[in-house]
Amino acid sequence: MNSISYQAPSNIALVKYWGKQGNQLPLNPSISFTLSACRTETKMALSEKIESGMDVELFFEGKRNEVFERKIIAFFQKLEGDFPFLREHKMVIHSSNTFPHSSGIASSASSMAALAMCLCGIEGGEVDLKKASYIARLGSGSACRSVYPQIAVWGKNNTISNSSDEYAIPYAEEMDEVFHSFCDTILIASSGEKSVSSRAGHALMDTNRFAKQRFAQANENLINLIGAMREGDLERFGEIVEEEALTLHALMMTSNPSFILMKPATLLMIDEIRKFREDTKHSVYFTLDAGPNIHLLYPASIQSAISPWIDEKLKPLCENGIMIKDQVGHGPSTI
C-alpha cells in the first residue's frame, strides 16, 4: 500500500492527565470520552525517496506548513525503529481538522491519533489499536485515548488489571449505556491562543506543592467515576467530573508561574449551568480542558429538552455565539 487516509476524533478527559515523566508517561491515570464531530483527517502517501535523510512534506488545510513539518520529522525520527519505511520513502502528508482552527479546541489529540493510525495501517492488515495508542502517546500524551470508540482509560491503576502507562485501553463495554452516546456541546468562551502550552503545563506539576495530593485524588476519582459510570449514576458522575475540571484549573492557578485560563465568560457559563441544574434537576454538567472553553455534558435523551436553554442562555455568552455540538463517537476510521 502506498497511500492511506484516516480520520481520528478528539477526546475530552473526565479524570484529567496533568503531570508527566520520562518519555510521555503520565503521573496519574485518566479516562475520557472519545468525541465525534471534532476530528482530524489525514492522508499519508509514500513514494520513492530522492533526498537523503528524513523526507517529509506536510500540508495543513491545503497549505504547506513547515512548522508542523519540523515537528513531524522530529516525531518520525523517534519512530524509525518501529517503522523502517520512514527512512526508506518520501512521505507526503495532508491533514485538516473538521473544527475551526481558531476555536480554541486542541488538535494535538486528534491529529496524533490520525497520524498513528496511518503509520500502523500503511503496511496493510488490520491496525493493532494498542500499538496505535502507544505511537499516538509518543506524539501527544492524551492522543493515546483517541484511538478507541466511546471511552478509554490511560495509565496504570489498581482498579483495571490490564491498564498501562504506555498505551490506553478501551473501556466502553464496562459502562452503562447512557455514556455510549453522551452529548458534549463545546461552548467557546474564548478562541485566543492558550497562554500556557500543554508541555509547559505538565512541567508545572513537578514543583506544584499540591502535586502529591493531586495524584492521590486522581486515582480515587478514577475508581469512583468508574463505579458511577457502571451504575449509570449521573449525579455522582457530574460531581466527580466537575471536581476534576476545577482541580485542573486550581493546579494551574497555584503553580509557579501561575496561570488563570478561565475567562469571565467561563464563570458566567458555570454559574448558569449550576443554576439550571438546581432549578430543573436536568443532568447537565461541565468540564474544562486546559483552556477557557466549557464542555457541556449531558445524556442524549435530554438533548431536545435542554436545547432551547442552551440557545437562550449559553449561546449569548459564547464568543461570536460559537458552539460546537459534539457527542461520544466511534473512534478512528479509514476515509
Burial class (CB in 10 A: 0-12, 13-18, 19+), 232: middle
Q: Please tell me the distance from the alpha carbon of residue 242 to that of residue 279, in angstroms, as a whole number.
A: 18
Instruction: Provide the minimum distance between the beta carbon of 196 and ligand PMV in the complex, in angstroms, as a whole number.
Output: 10
Interface positions with ligand PMV (CB under 6 A): 13, 16-18, 30, 106, 108, 140-142, 198, 248, 289-290
Q: Who's near 329: CB < 8 A, 6+ residues apart?
A: 9, 34, 35, 36, 37, 149, 150
Nearer to ligand PMV, 24 or 42 (CB): 24
Instruction: Provide the minimum distance between the beta carbon of 104 and ligand PMV in the complex, in angstroms, as a whole number.
Output: 12
Instruction: Provide the minimum distance between the beta carbon of 84 and ligand PMV in the complex, in angstroms, as a whole number.
Output: 27
Instruction: Provide the minimum distance between the beta carbon of 37 and ligand PMV in the complex, in angstroms, as a whole number.
Output: 17
Nearer to ligand PMV, 18 or 298 (CB): 18
Nearer to ligand PMV, 106 or 284 (CB): 106
Strand partners, 13: 32
Residue 72 in grid coordinates: 513531524
Nearer to ligand PMV, 130 or 137 (CB): 137
Nearer to ligand PMV, 4 or 34 (CB): 34
Nearer to ligand PMV, 2 or 197 (CB): 197
Instruction: Provide the minimum distance between the beta carbon of 233 and ligand PMV in the complex, in angstroms, as a whole number.
Output: 22
Residue 134 in grid coordinates: 502507544
Instruction: Provide the minimum distance between the beta carbon of 200 and ligand PMV in the complex, in angstroms, as a whole number.
Output: 10
For residue 173, give the amino acid letter: E
Q: Please tell me the distance from the alpha carbon of residue 293 to that of residue 56, in angstroms, as a whole number.
A: 34
